Amino acid sequence: MSDKHIELNHRTYPYREGLTISALMQENNFNFSHIIVKVNGALVEEEKWTKTAVYAGDNVEIIHIFGGG
Amino acid sequence: MVDCVKNEYRHHIGSHEEIMAMKAKHQVLATYTFDPTVIERGYNNRSLYISVGGQYDVSEQDPLLRKTEGERGIVIGEKAVTDFMKQKFTGGKGFDLYHLWKAVKADTSWNAPENDIVISPGPLAGITQYPGAGKSLVCCISPTTHLPIDSNVGGYFGPFLKFAGFDILELQGQAEEDILIYIDGNNHTISVETAPEEAFDSHILGEQLSEMYANSTKDKENISVISSGRAAEHSYIGILNFTFWDKRRQCIRLKQAGRGGIGTVFRNKKIKAVVIRYSGVHGDLNNPANKGLLNAAGIRLHKEMAHYDTKQNNMRKIGTANIIEVMDRYDLLPTHNYQYGGHPETPKIASKVFIEKYITQNVPDGCWYGCSMSCAKAADNFELRTGPYKGQKVCVDGPEYENGGGLGSNVGCFDPRWILEANFYCDTYGVDTISHATMTAFAQECYQRGLINLDDTEGLDLRWGNGYALNELMHHMVAGDGFGMIVGKGIRHQKRIYAERFGKVLPEYESMLEGRPWVSIKEPVIDKPIPTVHFNPDLADCEYLKAEGYDDEKVLASIKGDLLENAGANNDSAYIAQPGRWSKLIGVPTIGRDEITAWPVGKPYYSDDPDCCYSNGRPWVKMTPEQIAEMEEFGMENKGLEYSEYLMKESLAQQGGYALCNKGPQHDEAWLIFMDMVNNQIPTFEDKAEALHYFPMFRTWFGLLGLCKLPWNDITPINNKYEAEPAKIPEHVQNYFDIYEGVIGEKHSEASMVVQSERVYTFQRIFILRMGSGQRKHDTPPARSLGPITVGEYLSREERYDKQMKEIIGVDPTGKSIEEKVKIIMAYRWDQFEQLVDAVYKRRGWTPNGIPKLEKLIEIGMDIPELVQTVRPYLKQEGYWPSGEEYAKYDE
């Protein structure tokens, strides 16, 4: 198991080779319809999530824009 | 036109002739004529005051400018809305609280005649250019909390009141018999009349009064009715229903001021209804300063709704119920009294089930003109299976999310039909669905832990998911029947009654009860979650089956078989039993209320307590202190109000959002679960405290202005992703400042908005302090809101909790028992909660005991004498009274 990590929503998250935004979302059950993704502060448009690779040390923010109560 | 249901219950409503005959029975007790006004930039600058009778002190209240005195002590008059009120309190909830403060004293109880129901629509209410601008705010002293409660509600009444000429309606006093109030906004007259024959249930009463006071069928769109319902007679969770006429369905619709029992106060005053008529609505009636700003903001939002709603939240198809399955997926859907955050059967009550099977689509369901969000959905032609309207097809207003989360998962019911049935009856009986669901879930857990039993519940099998029994419980509550009446007074009341009267019989007394219909205390089963029981609803209906030729044995065999097959449940309580009736037992003494507290635990007695709603001679038994403490941990109330329907265990900010809420745990102050738990955008105590300042202030602001929260963040502009703080939806915040300027004529900003809200928010905090709450100890939540309190809860998310223990707390869970791990997790979370409270109080300018500091009052311009007098003794006692000459004048 790799000892490399990324930051996911300000929490340490294990890195692995070939990790993408879509994989991260699937692993974390982030399946809400209205989500903003930023990697190292830069916005990643939804159509690029499947192909956008995440690298060790990246700061990934997956922000749910949720109205709620 | 929608295939409407009203013909199905027309015989209950009555024909036009019958309704006019009811009107002929009215006796007019007072009339009043008022001068027409022109609204100036959102304000009429006057309020309407009505006392329906009774003796009480009005010396502290603002004077009546004009008044008339009718029969039986009725007074109708007008008060000024002053510049002071507008500057300090803005409108809506601010005006309500201002008048309520003047009307009551520190020891005023909810059922005192001076308790004041105050209704105010707010200065922006009634505009038609921007969605969600028809809200009224309602306040009074609550029967459940004994504190000022505030509740917001749609429907047409608030805007009509304003267009009739009043910014506020105050209802004080207590009438001698059932009355109604009629406000004719076009002819400028008001009358108070007896109303002896009209129905009580809102879906009928609203129709009757719309028929009675409209000039024609078309004119019904100019009528709005406020009513409560029969539940208000016997419960503390009565609501106010505000109607609007649905011209496509050709029937009335109901919107609710739901929280805190305002309907109970309404009925305590013997007010059956308030009816208003106003004809001539158009977009300029607020006399806005700059209509162009309103139009531009409105067009922007209408376009967003048209383009993005189906891709985002589906508000126009299903309203707030769109989040049922989302909450489940993120482990936030309260399940089995907030034990868990989801359930495998949630897909059965997912939004698409309601969309596809029940909710009428493609109908513009706005609850005020111009609302393109259109989320006030309805299920038409829904056939009821229980209660007084059994067999009728009705229009159900809903379901809202809280119906799914509360009347569904939290009580373990995953049958959409039972949810809609309970939804309908809650509305027409005038029951707060949120409190009802949470207090029922509490009773269910008590039942399943063996703290109460089938005899205590009078035969209602309260296992999770027994929709039939849960609806029956509501019918019992409304009828004022024993156990239903206990539940209907709330969790705090239930805890007291259960503690005094329900418990396990000591072995030495068991012989006294031999041969009696006593069901032994069951082993606790809560830590071994029971699969949800699914009755075949028709099979569960014994009366129906008997009518179909089944005998009792067949019915029971079918039901037990169904239960055993689906749930492996015991068959000793698998049916809806008739209430057990006890005769007096030899050797069981009758004792008075004073003796109850000193009575030995486990020794049976009869109560002669006049407050006791039982009269069946059942012997009572007191609970042990351990059992009482157990109930405190999972009774989901704070300040006497039941929690609303979100699981907050994994979000510290939401735990604070609930427990620190001035009126009790309602999510309309702050809903931070996703920001906190999922996005982790507010990781530090200071971040959370900032969010627990900004969001409650912004949400308060909606209540001051007469606005609905939903168009703020239940639709999102496409460019929101580029914003620095996307959770605030900055473009929509700017829309609100634009419409504020458009109506009021003054520019607004985030800073000025926050101060405007802080004035009222801080005032409300001092108000609850005045009424005996408002200190740190009162903001303490039940343990379950912070985390897992049972082995079952821990085991259900063991991997998560073990990981937290190891990585965050720094304790290795290996080798520890589940009980030990629960203690470790909960001790850590209590500590976190206390640190959060410290941070929030500091950010709000309060002392560590939760008292607003004098410096804060001065900063926001609320250093008015009555408020300073209220906080001064606390600040002095705690050592927070400031020194220095500039503060000397406040010490007088």
Query: Which residues on chain A are in Cβ contact (under 8 Å) with B679?
Result: 9, 61-64
Q: How many domains does chain B have?
A: 4
pLDDT level of residue A3 (50, 70, 90 thresholds):
confident
Cβ–Cβ gap B726/A63 under 8 Å? yes
Interacting residues of B549 by C-beta distance below 8 A, sequence separation 6+? none
Q: Which of A29, A43, A64 sits opposite B721 (nearest CB)?
A: A43
B801 confidence band (pLDDT: 50, 70, 90): very high
* Residues in B touching A66 (Cβ below 8 Å): 326, 674, 678, 713
Residue A25 counted as domain residue: yes
Q: Write down the H helix ranges in chain A.
A: 21-27
Give the count of beta carbons closer than 10 Å to the beta carbon of residue B891: 11
| Sheet arrangement for strand B179-184 | B28-33, B189-194, B179-184, B271-277, B223-227, B240-246, B251-257
- Interatomic CA distance for residues B474 and B472, integer angstroms: 5
pLDDT at B449 over 50: yes
Q: Give how far the C-alpha of residue B317 lies from the chain's centroid of Cα atoms, to the nearest Å.
A: 24
Query: pLDDT: is B598 or B153 the higher one?
Result: B153
In a domain, B635, yes or no: no
- Count of residues in chain A: 69
Contact B148, B127 (CB under 8 A): no
- How far B327 CA sits from the closest chain A CA (Å)? 9
Residue B663 lies in a domain: no
pLDDT of residue B550 exceeding 90, the answer is no
Report the C-alpha gap between B628 and B762 in whole angstroms: 34
Which of B326, B330, B727 has the CB atom closest to A65's CB atom?
B727
Task: Over range B446-463, report the average pLDDT.
Answer: 83
Q: Provide the pLDDT for residue B670.
A: 84
pLDDT value of position B258: 95
Give the minimum alpha-carbon distance from B663 to chain A in angstroms, rounded to a whole number: 16
Which of B307, B312, B647, B679 would you mutate first to test chain A, the one with the most A CBs within 10 A?
B679
Mean pLDDT of B529-548: 38
Q: What percent of chain B has pLDDT over 90?
A: 78
Terminal-residue alpha carbon distance, chain A = 41
Of B674, B680, B714, nearest to A10 by CB-CB distance is: B680
In this complex, do B680 and A9 lie within 8 Å of one another by their Cβ atoms? Answer: yes
Rounded Cα–Cα distance for residues B369 and B844 (Å): 37
Which residue did the predictor score with more confidence, B575 or B589? B589
Distances (CA, A) of B725 to B209, B682, B691, B695: 48, 12, 12, 13
User: Cβ B727–A34 below 8 Å, yes or no?
Assistant: no
Radius of gyration for chain B, computed over Cα atoms and rounded to the nearest angstrom: 27
Is the pLDDT reported for residue B443 higher than 50? yes
Q: Which of A33, A34, A69 sits opposite B671 (nearest CB)?
A: A69
Whether residue B338 sits in one domain with residue B487? yes
Which pLDDT score, from 0 to 100, does residue B385 have?
Answer: 86
Tell me if residue B68 falls in helix, strand or coil. strand
Query: Phi, psi at residue B638, to the nearest 5°?
Result: -145, 135
**What CA–CA distance (Å, rounded) separates B652 from B655?**
5
CA distance B195 to B319: 35
pLDDT (0 to 100) of residue A61: 96
pLDDT tens by residue, B735-792: 999 999 999 999 999 999 999 999 999 999 999 999 999 999 999 999 999 999 999 9
Strand partners, B431: B238
The total of other beta-carbon atoms located within 10 Å of residue B308's CB is 15
- The tokens describing B460, both together, are 């209602």
Nearest CA in chain A to B727: A65
- The confidence score (pLDDT) of residue B10 equals 52
Q: From CA B398, how far away is CA B409, in angstroms rounded? A: 16
A52, two tokens: 């956008």
Residue B772: inside a domain, yes or no?
A: yes
In angstroms, the CA B744 to CA B740 distance is: 6
Give the chain A residue nearest B722 (alpha carbons). Answer: A43
pLDDT at A2: 54
Helix (H, G, I), strand (E, B) or coil at B512: helix
Q: Which of A51, A57, A61, A62 is nearest to A20 (CA)?
A: A51
Beta bridge partners of B126: none
- In a 13 Å sphere around the CA of B870, the CA atoms on its Cβ side amount to 26
Q: In this structure, is residue B784 part of a structural domain?
A: yes
- Quick check: is A57 in a domain? yes
B347 Rama sector, left if φ>0, alpha if ψ -120 to 50, beta otherwise: alpha
**CATH number of residue B38's parent domain:** 3.60.9.10
Selecting from A9, A65, A68 the residue whose C-beta is nearest the C-beta of B323 gives A68
Return the CA Rg of chain A. Answer: 12
Q: Predicted confidence band at B604 (pLDDT cuts at 50, 70, 90)? A: confident
Record: contact B671-A33, CB cut-off 8 A: no
With bands split at pLDDT 50, 70 and 90, how would you rate the model's confidence at B322?
A: very high
One domain, residues B391 and B328: yes
Confidence class for position B176, pLDDT limits 50, 70, 90: very high
Give the domain range for residue A47. 5-64
Lowest mean pLDDT among B348-352, B472-476, B821-825: B472-476
Where would I find the H helices in B661-749? 673, 685-705, 710-713, 730-744
- Give the mean pLDDT of B535-560: 44
Q: What are phi and psi of B604, to 5 degrees?
A: -70, 150
Closest Cα to residue B202, out of B478, B515, B573? B478
Q: Is the pLDDT of residue B706 over 80?
A: yes
* Mean pLDDT on B369-397: 92
Cα B695 from Cα B671, distance rounded (Å): 8
Pairs of residues, one from chain A and one from chain B, whose beta carbons lie less than 8 Å apart: 64
d(CA B270, nearest CA chain A) in Å? 33
Chain A positions touching B683 (Cβ under 8 A) are 10
Q: Determine the Cα–Cα distance for residues B421 and B399; give it in Å rounded to an integer.
A: 10
Residue of A nearest to B684 (CA): A10
Same domain membership, residue B267 and residue B175:
yes
Q: What is the CATH number of the domain that holds B698?
A: 1.10.599
CA distance B798 to chain A (A): 17
Q: How confident is the model at residue B338 (pLDDT cuts 50, 70, 90)?
A: very high
Would the CB atoms of B678 and A34 count as touching at under 8 Å?
A: no
- Pairing state between β B271-277 and B378-383: unpaired
Share of chain B above pLDDT 70, in %: 90
Give dist(CA B254, CA B434) in Å, integer.
Answer: 16
Interface of chain A toward chain B, CB-CB under 8 angstroms: 9-11, 29-34, 36, 43, 61-69
Burial class (CB in 10 A: 0-12, 13-18, 19+), B682: buried
Nearest to B438 by CA among B222, B644, B147, B140: B644
Residue B109 above 70 pLDDT? yes
Q: B295: which 2 tokens?
A: 């139009």
Judge residue B55's burial from the number of C-beta atoms within 10 Å of its C-beta, 0-12 exposed, 13-18 middle, 19 or more buried.
exposed
- The answer to the question of residue A46 being in a domain is yes
- The three-point CA angle B14-B19-B24 to 5° equals 150
In a domain, B657, yes or no: no
Distance CA B892, CA B890 (A): 6
Contact A36 B726 (CB under 8 A): yes
User: Residue A69: inside a domain, yes or no?
Assistant: no
Contact B667 A43 (CB under 8 A): no
Tally the domains of chain A: 1
End-to-end CA distance of chain B: 67
CA atoms of B455 and B452, how far apart (whole Å) = 8
Q: Report the 10 Å Cβ neighbour count for B52.
A: 25
Pair (B531, B453) in one structural domain: no
Please, are residues B142 and B641 in contact by the beta-carbon 8 Å criterion? yes
- Asked whether the beta carbons of residue B680 and residue A66 sit closer than 8 angstroms, the reply is no
Q: Which residue from A32, A36, A43 is facing B326, i.e. has the nearest CB? A: A32
d(CA B752, CA B587): 70
The structure tokens listed for B498 are: 């259960």
Position B11 scores a pLDDT of: 54
Three-state secondary structure call for residue A35: strand
The arrangement of strands across the sheet holding A5-8 comes to: A11-14, A5-8, A59-64, A35-39, A42-44
Question: What's residue B91's pLDDT?
Answer: 98
Same domain membership, residue B104 and residue B40: yes
- Which amino acid makes up residue B799? E
> Does residue B97 carry a pLDDT above 80?
yes
> Does a structural domain hold residue A26?
yes
Q: Distance from B667 to chain A by nearest Cα, in Å? A: 6
Average pLDDT estimate for B83-102: 98
Residue of B nearest to A35 (CA): B721
Rounded to whole angstroms, how far apart are CA atoms B597 and B778?
Answer: 24
pLDDT band at B582 (very low <50, low <70, confident <90, very high): low
* Cα angle: B447, vertex B450, B455; to 5 degrees: 65
Largest CA distance in chain A: 41
d(CA A17, nearest CA chain B) in Å:
24
Residues B386 and B465 in one domain: yes
Interval B833-862: pLDDT, tens: 999 999 999 999 999 999 999 999 999 999
Residue ranges making up the domain that contains B775 = 684-715+749-891
Beta bridge partners of A39: A42, A60
* Distance, C-alpha B375 to centroid of its chain: 19
Please state, in angstroms and rounded to a whole number, the distance separating the CA atoms of residues B480 and B613.
8
Residue B249 is encoded by which pair of tokens? Answer: 């369905």
Please give the DSSP secondary-structure letter assigned to residue A12.
E
Q: How far apart are CA B122 and CA B381, in angstroms?
A: 35
**CATH number, position A48:** 3.10.20.30
Confidence band for B576, pLDDT divided at 50, 70 and 90: very low
How many whole angstroms separate alpha carbon B174 and alpha carbon B266?
9
Residue range B439-450: average pLDDT? 94
CB atoms B727 and A10 under 8 Å = no
Reported in sequence order, the residue ranges of B106-147 that DSSP labels E, i.e. its strands, are: 117-120, 136-141
How far is B59 from B609, CA to CA, in rounded Å?
37
Does pTM top 0.90 for this prediction? Answer: yes
* CA of B574 vs chain A CAs: smallest distance (Å): 36
- Inter-chain residue contact A68 with B671, CB threshold 8 Å: yes
Q: Which residues of B touch A26 (CB under 8 A)?
A: none
Bridge partners of A5? A14
Question: Which stretch of B495-499, B555-559, B695-699 has the lowest confidence by average pLDDT?
Answer: B555-559
Q: Using the predicted structure, report yes or no on whether residue B118 has a pLDDT greater than 70.
A: yes
Asked whether the beta carbons of residue A63 and residue B681 sit closer than 8 angstroms, the reply is yes
pLDDT digits (tens, 9 = 90+) for B626-658: 999 999 999 999 999 999 999 999 999 999 999
d(CA B786, CA B659): 10
Look at residue B514 in the predicted model and tell me its pLDDT.
66
Distance, in angstroms, between A40 CA and closest chain B CA? Answer: 14
Record the tokens describing residue B547, joined without a space.
């009518």
B786 shares a domain with B707: yes
Q: How far is A67 from chain B (nearest CA, A)?
A: 5
Q: Is B108 within the bounds of a domain?
A: yes
Question: B222 and B325 in one domain?
Answer: no
Q: Which of B71-85, B266-280, B357-371, B462-476 has the lowest mean pLDDT?
A: B462-476
Summarised one tens digit per residue, pLDDT across range A5-61 is 999 999 999 999 999 999 999 999 999 988 999 999 999 999 999 999 999 999 999
Distance between A37 CA and the closest CA of chain B, angstroms: 9
- Is residue B865 predicted with pLDDT exceeding 90? yes
Bridge partners for B30 per DSSP: B192
Distance between CA B3 and CA B382 in Å, rounded? 11
SS3 of chain A: helix, strand, coil, percent, to 5: 15, 35, 50
Six-digit token string for B887: 């503060």
Verify that B337 and B465 share a domain, yes or no: yes
Contacts of B756 (CB under 8 A, 6+ apart): B90, B701, B704
Measured CB to CB, residues of chain B less than 8 Å from chain A are 311-313, 323, 326, 329-330, 401, 644, 646, 667-668, 671, 673-674, 678-681, 683, 710, 712-714, 716, 720-722, 726-727, 729
Cβ separation A67–B714 shorter than 8 A = yes
- For residue B47, list its beta bridge partners: B79, B168
